[in-house]
A and B are shown apart, each in its own frame.
Chain A
Amino acid sequence: RKEVEQDPGPFNVPEGATVAFNCTYSNSASQSFFWYRQDCRKEPKLLMSVYSSGNEDGRFTAQLNRASQYISLLIRDSKLSDSATYLCVVNKAGTDKLIFGTGTRLQVFP
């Protein structure tokens, strides 16, 4: 089983739609969780950290479910500029490693 698993997509949604991605992780002792965004042929960049109580940043909401070992990202009112690959990232328990999922591709169309 992979340490971090994501649906690769692509998710094709119209502008204004709400879209959600899930990610599962295998190690229940993992402590830190993130969502990164990667544009085509660019480097990954931090979108937001994921906190136990859930957190929101504008149109983006991240949630953590420790019991089921998954994290989610909700994007409301999708924009064309949201088109990118979204990478789920988990800190490997007991280490300083960041383990990346293979990413979920989002395409927002007019």
Chain B
Amino acid sequence: DAGVIQSPRHEVTEMGQEVTLRCKPISGHDYLFWYRQTMMRGLELLIYFNNNVPIDDSGMPEDRFSAKMPNASFSTLKIQPSEPRDSAVYFCASSLERRGTEAFFGQGTRLTVV
């Protein structure tokens, strides 16, 4: 398996533009997580899905952020409109079982909003 695949790897956009980040989890994994990493705050969990259903989105910073998982092999994280403070590395991760099992991370999307 190729692991968790994220695209794009890098994104530079202007403030106010819509940004869509994509993730393909490892086949057969039941859980998908979206994290954001910054120097100041570290890795923050934004939202996670179980069997394509959003379970907890309490980490989503505000209404400008939304996430979907239309099927077991694809998820998106959308920011509309984007702001400079959204600049960060966004990671997608998936895991096979609940608790006690490691999460496998994608390589991340480095987002810069200017």
Contacts and interface: CB of A to CB of B under 8 A. Distances in A.
Given A87-B43, A97-B56, A43 B102 contact: no
A97 B43 CA distance: 12
Given A43-B108, A87-B43, A101-B42, A49 B102 contact: yes
A97 B48 CA distance: 8
- B contacts with A: majority SS: strand
Contact of B99 (A32, A42, A45, A100): A32
B55 interface: yes
Interface in B46-80: 48, 50, 55-56
Nearest to A47: B102
A31 interface: yes
Contacts of B107: 42-43
A98 interface: yes
Name the interface size band of chain A: 20 to 34
Interface string A10-39: 000000000000000000000110100000
A43 B106 contact: yes
A69 interface: no
A52 B7 CA distance: 38
B15 interface: no
A98 B91 CA distance: 13
Given A42-B107, A43-B91, A87-B43, A95 B56 contact: yes
A9 interface: no
Interface of A: 31-32, 34, 42-46, 49, 87, 91, 95-103
The 10 A-B residue pairs whose C-beta atoms are closest, nearest first, are A102-B42, A43-B105, A100-B43, A46-B102, A32-B100, A96-B98, A32-B99, A91-B99, A44-B105, A43-B107
